[in-house]
Structure 1
């Protein structure tokens, strides 16, 4: 399952935040507050990205709930407005803008730049978003199910095994070796 979105080119992280200033009535001057706020351009582009994403997403089949516990691939085809821009500086605004619209949390987005081209007349970013097959430390849903099936014969399984829980979360543990065998396996019928 996947979707495709064509979105406005995000503002670079270098131009996304500005220093906030306050007013000092004594000296009648502006003084820095020490806070960083999103620039007007950043706010405008974020709103444009969100509007375009909502419109396009409404016409496609996408399982938002699935993104709450699983990773997704976000393949990017970037059409920069000029040569020399750094694609890595675009992803902060892009991923933050799509959070709670396309996916629950951008910490589960595996961003991959597939191509960068220059189009000064129509800068944009095209995203192909799809479900990652990985489940925790496992290569696929089937791999997880096979491991979990073995776990059912272990005494720890009935007590909500913390090793299995951590493996589903993607945590590497010394109890599970490279062949996906658990050193704490304790058969029920022993």
Structure 2
């Protein structure tokens, strides 16, 4: 399968709520962060099983993200990424260094807050040049 779609229900926690600094250069994941991570991993595993996705390994992978917040409160879509991408490592892709996250848009859906992600492999072409 060349495409994988994952829908994670609920309001995603932000970096400020999932990590706690315990030393100068050390931080740990909070209980809420661990619970959310486990939930994301279970959802991703089910999606992979039903959609026939093969884990990506050493190839560029695009992750298009659409976020539906529960309220209009100001939020930063980038703050969702760190825990999300770490949670999917070893399940959707071998290593998130190959991931190209693309935050497509955000909106408000107070009745069904969620994160929708569409993954697809980036086809390499010899004619692509950077400026």
TM-score by length of 2: 0.85
> Could you tell me which residue of structure 2 aligns to residue 108 of structure 1?
98
- After TM superposition, list the pairs within 5 Å mapping 1:69-88 onto structure 2: 69-83=58-72, 84-88=74-78
Report if aligned partners of 1:76, 1:111 keep a CA contact under 8 Å in 2: yes
1:36 aligns with 2:21: no
1:13 aligns with 2:3: no
Bigger strand share: 2
Q: Distance in 2 between matches of 1:37 and 1:113?
A: 26
Once the two structures are TM-superposed, the CA of residue 15 in structure 1 deviates from its matched residue by 1.3
Q: Distance in 2 between matches of 1:59 and 1:5?
A: 11
Could you give the per-residue CA deviations for residues 131-170 of structure 1, whole angstroms, max 9, x where no partner exists?
1012xxxxx2xx38xxxxxxxxxxxxxxxxxxxxxxxxxx
> Could you tell me which residue of structure 1 aligns to residue 87 of structure 2?
97
- In our comparison, the structure showing a higher alpha carbon Rg is 1
Once the two structures are TM-superposed, the CA of residue 11 in structure 1 deviates from its matched residue by 1.5
- After TM superposition, list the pairs within 5 Å mapping 1:151-190 onto structure 2: none
> Could you tell me which residue of structure 1 aligns to residue 47 of structure 2?
56
Equivalent pairs counted in the alignment come to: 124
Once the two structures are TM-superposed, the CA of residue 57 in structure 1 deviates from its matched residue by 1.1
Q: Distance in 2 between matches of 1:47 and 1:10?
A: 13
Q: Distance in 1 between matches of 2:13 and 2:97?
A: 20
Q: Which runs of 5+ in 1 are unaligned?
A: 21-32, 135-139, 145-177, 179-190
Q: Which has the higher contact order (CA 8 A, sep 6+)?
A: 2
Q: Distance in 2 between matches of 1:36 and 1:108?
A: 24
> Could you tell me which residue of structure 2 aligns to residue 118 of structure 1?
108
Q: Which runs of 5+ in 2 are unaligned?
A: none
Report if aligned partners of 2:41, 2:87 keep a CA contact under 8 Å in 1: yes
- Runs of at least 4 residues off by over 4 Å: none
**RMSD (Å) for aligned C-alpha atoms:** 1.8
Once the two structures are TM-superposed, the CA of residue 107 in structure 1 deviates from its matched residue by 0.9
